[in-house]
Chain A
Amino acid sequence: MRAVDIAGTALGNTMRSKTRTFLTVIAIVIGAFTLTLTSGLGAGINKYVDTMVSGFGEIDQISIMPGADATAQMPGSSGPVAYDPAEAQATGEFGMTMLTDEDIETIAQVEHLSNVEPVVFVAAEYLETADGDQFTLQSMDLPANAAALELAAGVKPARDAMEITIPETWLEIYGTEDPEAVLGETVTLGIKDLAQQVQTVDAEIVGVSQAAISGVGASPMPSSALNEELYGLQTSGLEVEQPQAYVQAVADVEDMAANEQSVKAALSEEGFMAMTVEDQLGVITGIIDTVTWVLNGFALIALLAASFGIVNTLLMSVQERTREIGLMKALGMSGGKVFGLFSMEAVMLGIMGSVIGVGLGVVVGLTGNAALVSGPLSGVAGLSLFAVDPMAIVLIVLLILVIAFLAGTMPAARAAKKDPIEALRYE
């Protein structure tokens, strides 16, 4: 029997009891659909992260944290430790090791690093427009996040200038919808010092940012110089000299591609931990991948259930067609070909289920993505929740075909083993 005839006959046979085929295929469709959606979701979000990463591509920035001996920091995980004033000073509020000014100097010594800046958190009171309207500043972005900033207009705040960007949602304070219109406006920022006195600084709006899913760009972002100025004001006002401690520092790396490893090695030798933007996003990607795989796992369970549907359907089919199988064998069809015919039937079910399921998944994923991104999530720039990865689609279809084939082997082997005479006698 030629392969085309086997395929044609198998297809014809699946069409014989349409209801049964339909129900079996539905089970496969559900699995294929879910798998397409979950893997598309992972691909979509990772694609979004990738766009963010490639947006940072040219930014040679690195974050530096105190070298974490994580276990030693866990409360209760070790016995009493002798008190060391020098170290105690560098311990932050949550028992985390912090960077001291000395550390910052040490880091600045490392080759290929420049513009080493501690990351400080500034809690400003208000932002005042030229007209004297004041708005609460709940939070401000870190200048270190400038790399990830997506702009609707203008430029990113320059490191050494007193500049700031505002998010698109703040345009209404100027009663406009045109982001270009606010560029060049001067604002006054108010901040309380340690003596609870409000101090002010002036800054120029140089850009309008879009909120990204990470939160970057959702609130005003000062330049480094402005941020430092504000921090200076925030920590002033008392006679006492405050020891400084920072969660992390950022620095520019000269020629990241060439020097990344040596910089990281040098920093780690000094007892620091360094992460590039890509490393940080890599962590995010890793989490997304994990979640995706958990979801895929559920889809695979659905497929596993569907495979038993295939086994069941084919076993019934083999039983019903005992005489037909006997006849084919009597007329000289080899056991191998009978096996081929029935496993081909399983594969046909797999093809129908996977094509319909994957097709549905792609359509639902794409329309759902379009609806969400242009609807409720339109504020997030460049967001994609679902992406079609042709490679993944091919893999899903192949996977389902393999599962279907495997599910078909048992019934097919049963059919192949049938003795023509017994089969012909079968009532």
Chain B
Amino acid sequence: MSAAVLETENLVKVYGRGESRFDALKGLTFEIRQGESVAIVGKSGSGKSTLMHLLALLDEPTAGVVAMNGRPVSQLKPAQVSELRNDTFGFVFQQFFLNASQTVLENVILPLKIAGVGTAERKRRGMEVLEQLDMADKAGNRATDLSGGQKQRACIARALINEPSVLFADEPTGNLDTATGEVVEDILFGLHRDRGITLVIVTHDDDLAARCQRRLLMQDGMIVADESGEAVRSAGASVGQTSREGSRRVGGHGKHAAPVVVDGPGLDEPGPDGPEAGPTAPGAATAGAAGQVENAGTTGEERA
């Protein structure tokens, strides 16, 4: 088993205060290992993007620890965090964030420009990655002149240009039709397979989630299921079914839960909590979540 790249312990994120206080994450503890492909799934507003931003060191948790290669990132200086983001991480955001006034190539090479790479080298690497994504002929176009799928690929090119070891993608196929979505997926998993990039993908797309080695199901700021296994896709199962059949509920572990590592329990092996989970996944998840709300609440107060 490879080492953990990212670990979290009791991760809490609270937005606002007083009346408008909102607990977006309620004490998450898990780890993501080197070379893993992880899908974060769940309903809208369940805290997926929030979690991804914390993992990607874009935001700071209200409480709890994010550790990178075993070292808590709160120990790092802001400059080191910036540098990590610049050369170790790649980002595909939920929106495109392409600069309308620049060409596709200029948009794509932005991370290299920030890193201080020379002009010629930037251009070479920019063209290289655009070629990989079949976008070389669009390099000189304004970013606004692209189709949705092309924009998405431009964003992926930007995320890959610094040859990251961890790629964070928030809804990378959200704006795409099935066919283009498929192409983007193939690109991502190709990189995962060929270069051993760690993928952390937030998605609503069951197909995409199913292609990942591991799925974290989120609900109301908690991980209610953590399942491994890749065979689901062929079985045509939805995420909801998957969570019922192939996962272990983690709701009851509380804040001192050990890192949730579920080693590929195969599809045929039902989780231990399976029978109690009720007939539908959402029901099961809610039941699990309810147990932890109190827990998380206490945690929040303790930390405040």
Contact residues, A324-371 vs B (CB, 8 A) = 324, 326-335, 337
Stretch of B109-117, B126-134, B213-221, B284-292 lying at the A interface: B109-117
Q: How far is the CB of B46 from chain A (nearest CB, A)?
A: 17
**Cβ-defined contact, B93 with A332, below 8 A:** no
* Binary per-residue interface labels of chain B (77-92) against chain A in the complex, 1 for a CB within 8 Å, 0 otherwise: 0110011111100010
Instruction: Given A1-B116, A420-B58, A421-B59, decide whether A331 and B101 contact each other with a Cβ distance below 8 A.
Output: no
**Cβ-defined contact, B78 with A323, below 8 A:** no
Give Cα A334 to B114, complex, Å. 9
- CB of A424 closer than 8 Å to a CB of B: yes
- Judged by DSSP, the binding face of A is helix
**Cβ-defined contact, A335 with B78, below 8 A:** yes
**Cβ-defined contact, B113 with A332, below 8 A:** no
- CB of B22 closer than 8 Å to a CB of A: no
Enumerate 18 A-B pairs (CB-CB under 8 Å) in ascending A order: A1-B113, A2-B118, A12-B101, A327-B93, A327-B110, A330-B58, A330-B93, A331-B86, A332-B82, A332-B87, A332-B111, A332-B115, A333-B86, A334-B82, A337-B114, A420-B59, A421-B58, A424-B93
Chain B residues, Cβ within 8 Å of A102: none
Give Cα A328 to B86, complex, Å. 10
Residue from A2, A324, A326, A331 whose CB has the most chain B CB atoms within 10 Å:
A331
**Cβ-defined contact, A333 with B114, below 8 A:** yes
- CB of A5 closer than 8 Å to a CB of B: yes
Give Cα A12 to B113, complex, Å. 14
**Cβ-defined contact, B97 with A2, below 8 A:** no
Of B53, B85, B116, B118, the contact of A331 (CB 8 Å cutoff): B85
Instruction: Given A1-B113, A1-B114, decide whether A421 and B101 contact each other with a Cβ distance below 8 A.
Output: no
**Cβ-defined contact, A332 with B59, below 8 A:** no
Chain B residues, Cβ within 8 Å of A327: 93, 97, 99, 110
Task: Give the A-B contact count at a CB cut-off of 8 A.
Answer: 59
Give Cα A133 to B114, complex, Å. 89
Chain A residue at minimal CB-CB distance from B79: A334
Count residues of chain B with CB under 8 A from any CB of chain A: 24
Chain A residue at minimal CB-CB distance from B56: A330
Chain A residues, Cβ within 8 Å of B91: 330-331
Chain B positions within 8 Å of A, measured between CB atoms, are: 53, 58-59, 78-79, 82-87, 91, 93, 95, 97, 99, 101, 110-111, 113-116, 118
Give Cα A157 to B79, complex, Å. 81
Chain B residues, Cβ within 8 Å of A334: 78-79, 82
Give Cα A333 to B58, complex, Å. 12
Give Cα A5 to B87, complex, Å. 18
**Cβ-defined contact, A328 with B78, below 8 A:** no
Chain B residues, Cβ within 8 Å of A16: 101
**Cβ-defined contact, A328 with B58, below 8 A:** no
Chain A residues, Cβ within 8 Å of B99: 324, 327
Give Cα A50 to B101, complex, Å. 55
Q: How far is the CB of A8 from chain B (nearest CB, A)?
A: 9
Additional A-B contact list (5), CB under 8 Å, known A327-B93, A330-B85: A2-B116, A327-B99, A329-B82, A331-B91, A332-B111
Q: How far is the CB of B170 from chain A (nearest CB, A)?
A: 10
Chain B residues, Cβ within 8 Å of A9: 113
Instruction: Given A333-B82, A334-B79, decide whether A328 and B114 contact each other with a Cβ distance below 8 A.
Output: yes
Chain B residue at minimal CB-CB distance from A335: B78
Q: How far is the CB of B68 from chain A (nearest CB, A)?
A: 14
Q: How far is the CB of A240 from chain B (nearest CB, A)?
A: 95
Q: How far is the CB of A83 from chain B (nearest CB, A)?
A: 87
Give Cα A78 to B123, complex, Å. 86
Chain A residues, Cβ within 8 Å of B110: 327-328, 331
**Cβ-defined contact, A332 with B85, below 8 A:** yes
Give Cα A189 to B78, complex, Å. 93
Residue from A12, A327, A334, A421 whose CB has the most chain B CB atoms within 10 Å:
A327
Give Cα A329 to B86, complex, Å. 9
Give Cα A419 to B87, complex, Å. 20
* Binary per-residue interface labels of chain A (7-43) against chain B in the complex, 1 for a CB within 8 Å, 0 otherwise: 0010010001000000000000000000000000000
